[in-house]
Amino acid sequence: MDEISRSAKLVTALLKNVPGLMNLASADATVLDKITDEVTKGLPPPAFVGDKLIYRVVVFALAGVALLSVVGAVVLTFYRLEVPDMVTALGSAAIGAMAGLLVPSPTAKT
């Protein structure tokens, strides 16, 4: 279960169980903001949201693997040697993983 649905269930339960809170929330929009802050305060933060260093290290490592596999394939081809399937698989996987990391998620706010 993701954090949004858990938060929504917590807000719904809070609105149902606290007498008069539903009327107060419908009368004043800032009450909903306070409820949202209170409910989401107890949830754990998403993984690595503020840690850009880890993200960059992973992207650079994947870029290095992709670059080395391309250079290795070119060098092996230059010497008329067969390029192992493992080199092709590593390069493809690294490029695919980088694409997955660098493309914004469909639920991200733009």
The model's pLDDT over 15-41, given as tens digits with 9 standing for 90+, comes to 777 777 777 766 776 776 777 777 777
CB contact burial 12-24 (16+ within 10 A = b; e otherwise): eeeeeeeeeeeee
The model's pLDDT over 61-92, given as tens digits with 9 standing for 90+, comes to 999 999 999 999 999 999 999 999 999 999 99
The torsion angle over the Cα atoms of residues 48, 108, 1 and 19, rounded to 10 degrees, is 110
Structure tokens at 82: 């067969």
Amino acid at 3: E
Question: Cα dist. 30→24, 68, 96 in Å?
Answer: 10, 54, 44
Look at residue 4 in the predicted model and tell me its pLDDT. Answer: 55
Exposed/middle/buried for residue 62 (C-beta within 10 Å: 0-12, 13-18, 19+) = buried
Look at residue 96 in the predicted model and tell me its pLDDT. Answer: 95
For the chain, domain boundaries: 3-41, 52-102
User: What whole-number distance in Å separates Cα of residue 20 and Cα of residue 3?
Assistant: 26
Question: pTM for this one?
Answer: 0.56
